[in-house]
Amino acid sequence: MDISVVIPLFNEEESLPELYNWINRVMKENGFSYEVIFINDGSTDKSWRVIESLKKQSDTVRGIKFRRNYGKSAALYCGFKEAEGDVIITMDADLQDSPDEIPELYRMIKEEGYDLVSGWKEKRYDPISKTMPTKLFNATARKVSGIKNLHDFNCGLKSYNKEVVKNIEVYGEMHRYIPYIAKNAGFDKIGEKVVHHQARKYGKTKFGISRFFNGYLDLISLWFLSRFGVKPMHLFGLLGSLMFFIGFVAVAIVGIMKLYYMHHDMPYRLVTDSPYFYLSLTSMIIGTQLFVAGFLGEMISRNSLGRNDYQIEKII
């Protein structure tokens, strides 16, 4: 099979027939063998009935129904697991992603050898309250991930080599950072294609402003896991040792200063009367806690079932 189109959705009953007919037309015009996998993420409208109706019309339709809303990452994870095509295309169900982009996205994977190609909606039809935070978010993601050539990490329209989706795990709300996850798994040939963005035709957006704040927290988590996930002692141990050393030196200075004043019969005060003593003691305590946290993290990492899961490309 050439292509699997994976479409997560939540309450998109109006757009599904039009979207499927559009995909079907593009596939037939280009002679692709394909499947369309709809993942109904706990919709409360008639989305699942529409999917069942489309399935009766064509064997190219497959559907996954969640009992409740789990989020886009969970939907993509299950869609990737079921996909059988050589190239996997993801797109949103709201008709803002154009299926006409599919042939070129497929070609870039098969002929140019990309592991992943991400769409870039250079011209957007969203309000400025959405576009400005998006630009800031993407600039931060480029800096942290080191993937300098991507302008839109969160674009729903992407294409993947089958090997990529079968060797990465998307969880939580990490769908925003699939290119970063793929890079960390060793799939570093990542490209970008300018794609057409259409204004929403039916319904309203399902995402609020909170996704931007959650996005930054997820980015920090992913950065930490990629850098220190299997070696937490390298971070916590270093910071803990540094803070303990600073606190110890500061306490020593406070004590030496008191002995100096006593030796020269100069007025002095008790060590415990100095605020520097308590600051130093606090630094030593925090340093000890950080070191212990690193040690415990190291023990957990060494006993993890996935501690020796490595991405092996070939064995001959």
Mean pLDDT, consecutive 10-residue stretches, the chain (316 aa), reads: 96 94 96 96 94 95 94 93 96 93 97 95 67 77 88 91 93 86 92 84 62 70 73 86 92 85 79 83 92 84 63 65
Residue-range domain boundaries for the chain: 3-228, 233-302
3-state secondary structure of 97: strand
In the chain the first and final C-alpha atoms are separated, in Å, by 26
At 166, is the secondary structure helix, strand, or coil?
coil
DSSP 3-state assignment of 90?
strand
Bridge partners for 39 per DSSP:
8, 64
Shortest CA distance to 296 belongs to which of 224, 237, 221? Answer: 237
The packing angle between helices 233-263 and 210-228, to 10°, is 80
CATH for 3-228 is 3.90.550.10
Distance from the Cα of residue 215 to its chain's centroid: 8
- What pLDDT, on the 0 to 100 scale, is given for residue 127? 61
DSSP secondary structure code for residue 188 in this structure = -
The predicted pLDDT at position 244 comes to 93
Taking the model in full, what pTM does it have?
0.75
pLDDT at residue 207, rounded to an integer = 56
pLDDT value for 138: 82
pLDDT of residue 221: 75
Q: Rounded to an integer, what distance in angstroms lies between the CA atom of residue 51 and that of residue 273?
A: 74
CA distance 278 to 5: 61
Q: 40, 69 in Cβ contact below 8 A?
A: no
Q: Which residues contact 5 (CB under 8 A, 6 or more apart)?
A: 23, 34, 35, 36, 37, 88, 89, 90, 91, 99, 102
Q: What is the pLDDT of residue 308?
A: 57
Q: What is the DSSP letter of 175?
A: G
> Would you state the pLDDT for residue 204?
66
Q: List 160's β-bridge partners, or say none.
A: 88, 116
